[in-house]
Amino acid sequence: MAGLANYVSESYNELKNHVTWPTWPEAQRLTVIVAVFSIIFSLVIWGVDTVFSSVIEQYFEWIKS
């Protein structure tokens, strides 16, 4: 149990004294960038999924005939 307390204490010390936190405007800018790329990436995945679904559907219709 002492190891866990030591870990939490050292983690807190690391976050408080050794991490360089971004400024509020920088954090907002980076959040917008992450949100935009997440939306773009999800749209690309949706598009690829739609194309593959159509291809597989056409393949099974071709086999069925």
Does pLDDT of 22 surpass 80?
yes
Q: Hey, where are the domains in the chain?
A: 22-65
- Helices in 1-65 by DSSP H: which ranges? 2-17, 24-64
- Could you tell me the pLDDT band of residue 65, with boundaries at 50, 70 and 90? confident
Q: What is the rounded distance in angstroms from the CA atom of residue 14 to the CA atom of residue 20?
A: 10
CB 30 within 8 A of CB 22: yes
- 23-63 pLDDT, tens digit each: 999 999 999 999 999 999 999 999 999 999 999 999 999 99
Does pLDDT of 16 surpass 80?
yes
Is the pTM here over 0.85, yes or no? Answer: no
Q: Give me the pLDDT at residue 1, please.
A: 76
